[in-house]
Amino acid sequence: MHVDWLITLFDYFGIVIFAISGALVGGRRRMDPVGFALVGTVTGVGGGTLRDLVLGVRPVFWVEDPSYIIVCVVASVATYFATSHISSLRRALVWADAVGLATFAVLGTQAALAQQVSPVIAVAMGVMTATFGGIVRDVLCDDVPLILRREIYATAALVGAVVYVGLDWTGLDQTLVMAAGFAAALSVRAFGIVFGVHGSDAGTGAGTGELAAAE
């Protein structure tokens, strides 16, 4: 029960963070406020929706509990008003995305293991849950997908998921396992952002670690 409570808190946290990241991208596009909330909501619940569809959980998690959608809309709208005077949102976006990525890498893996799938599938589901919301956000907003950037990105989700599966197997306390997976994923992604470390072979350009502005 203690852990269930932690998972729920974590879940809302990740959803809010990704909803904000969606709203930040939408804000750069000056879209219709409802479109704005729509992008925020899709980014927030997208990863978990795909996870539930693929695992065969139905209906998907937010259909039976409207609070997820309400939280996404509120977070998106709050971001809309909070950011109207901020000129540069890029750095905030990159970090919000990083925290959401780490959160959902852990939660996606955890949800998959709860369905008794194999460790490989649990890791795949963690990576998928962590990256899907951001991919949809970037595709919807016609932005350069973060996953396409040469810095370490999907690798961070993979590391978080692997750490979670590995420690979960040892029987450690769930809270510790979740914290370790989250910290591992966030550290790897932060390393990529701060130092602009490329996962691929050394290419052109220095890479500032900031999202390439599309406009």
Residue ranges that bind its own copies, judged by CB under 8 A: 29-38, 41, 49, 53-56, 58-60, 62-64, 66, 69-70, 84, 115, 117-121, 124, 127-128, 131, 135, 139-142, 144-145, 147-155, 157-158, 198-201, 203
Give the nearest distance from C-beta 207 to its own copies in angstroms: 11
Closer to its own copies by CB, 10 or 62: give it. 62
Give the nearest distance from C-beta 21 to its own copies in angstroms: 17
Q: Which residues contact 4 (CB under 8 A, 6 or more apart)?
A: none
Give the nearest distance from C-beta 158 to its own copies in angstroms: 5
C-alpha to C-alpha distance for 185 and 179, rounded to whole angstroms:
10
Closer to its own copies by CB, 29 or 90: give it. 29
What residues are paired with 198 via a beta bridge? 151
Closer to its own copies by CB, 90 or 150: give it. 150
